[in-house]
Amino acid sequence: MPQYILIPFAVFFACCVAQFWFIKRVRDRLIERHPETFLAIEKSSIFPQRGLRRFMKKGRYKALNDPELNTHIRDLKRLYAVALVAWLGYGATIIAAAISQQ
């Protein structure tokens, strides 16, 4: 296998690791500025962080009118988009490498 396959995988892996720091920033901001909202979010789900992801995905954070929280969530959504593109690029490079070796 060619070495260029590792580039999109490395980007994807970096995004996977970075998401923990981005989610921590969102969580810390909610705990600091909106503790009652954070508790309601976490109580709404059986699994840890599932309520927070649903809160971000459905856009409920916009009702809090917190510009810093909006920035953190926007950055996290951009990170997810980069990870998705990297994953698709990884798949494309694997397919291209397999076709070129035939």
Q: How many domains does the chain have?
A: 1
For the entire predicted model, the pTM comes to: 0.82
* pLDDT tens-digit readout, 61-89: 999 999 999 999 999 999 999 999 999 99
Containing structural domain, residue 56? 3-100
Q: Percent helix, strand, coil in the chain (nearest 5)?
A: 85, 0, 15
User: In the predicted model, what is the mean pLDDT of residues 18-34?
Assistant: 94
User: In the predicted model, what is the mean pLDDT of residues 33-62?
Assistant: 88
Q: Give the whole-angstrom CA distance, residue 27 versus residue 41.
A: 11
